[in-house]
Amino acid sequence: MSGHSKWATTKHKKAALDAKRGKLFAKLIKNVEVAARTGGGDPEANPTLYDAIQKAKKSSVPQDNIERARRRGNGEEAGGADWQNITYEGYAPNGVAVLIECLTDNKNRAASEVRTALSKNGGTLADAGSVAYLFTRRGVVLMPKNDLSEDDVLMAVLDAGAEEVNDLGESFEILSEPGDLVSVRTALQEAGYDYESADTSFLPSVNVPLDAEGARKVFRLVDALEDCDDVQNVYANFDVSDEVLAEVG
């Protein structure tokens, strides 16, 4: 998972500076609105909303935009859409399995966008259940090292339910059960440690190793999917070595 995790971390760091910043902002704002609608508009009483707001802030989404989304979701302000969660399954080149999470107010549009992005980039849409069994939902916290050791981090989060701390080079990845994500994040805050993101994510149980050519094809497909307005997250079970990651750039 090291190459895959480092690839995901690199994408996370670049996201706020990406040319698609507008689309990133729209997705983060949508998450805030849905979280407020689902669990209430008070971030202190709604951990999902708290994390959605923190993620938006860390990606430089303006505070006014975040607050309006929170108010729309909580019914304090008109204009909220009827967002629905849909997950599609498919295959990328080289037999890589793909899970695609959408948040949309138009199922037909979302399905069409996903199908087009897959077909134009060497992928195919699969039946429900075809690849989902290859992934497990986990709590994932990314945090900068800031001169901390792996033991420092482990001591701070072990009693909060963290199961694993991985060294990704410039940052640490902390894995837990999804239900322990909030307590892990809170433990880091109480220890005075900053974190980059705290999300639930689908991690693969089996990985497909890729060479440079295969990696380029899969990255191109993932980028095309993430460029779809209705797509929130894309998960894939590939692995790339540090050498391949460096070659692909």
CATH of domain 134-204: 3.30.70.980
* Domains 84-133+206-248 and 134-204 agree in fold: yes
Q: How far apart are CA 84 and CA 88, in angstroms?
A: 13
What's the pLDDT tens digit per position in 4-53?
565 665 665 555 455 566 778 888 999 999 999 888 999 988 988 998 99
Residue ranges of the domains in the chain? 10-73, 84-133+206-248, 134-204
The neighbour count for residue 158, using CB atoms within 10 Å, is 13
What is the percentage of the chain residues whose pLDDT exceeds 70?
91
Cβ atoms of residues 223 and 98 within 8 Å: no
Look at residue 164 and give its three-state secondary structure.
Answer: strand
**Looking at domain 10-73, does it have CATH number 2.40.50.180?**
no
pLDDT in tens, 82-130: 888 999 999 999 999 999 999 999 999 999 999 999 999 999 999 999 9
Q: Does domain 84-133+206-248 have CATH number 3.30.450.40?
A: no
pLDDT at res. 249:
74
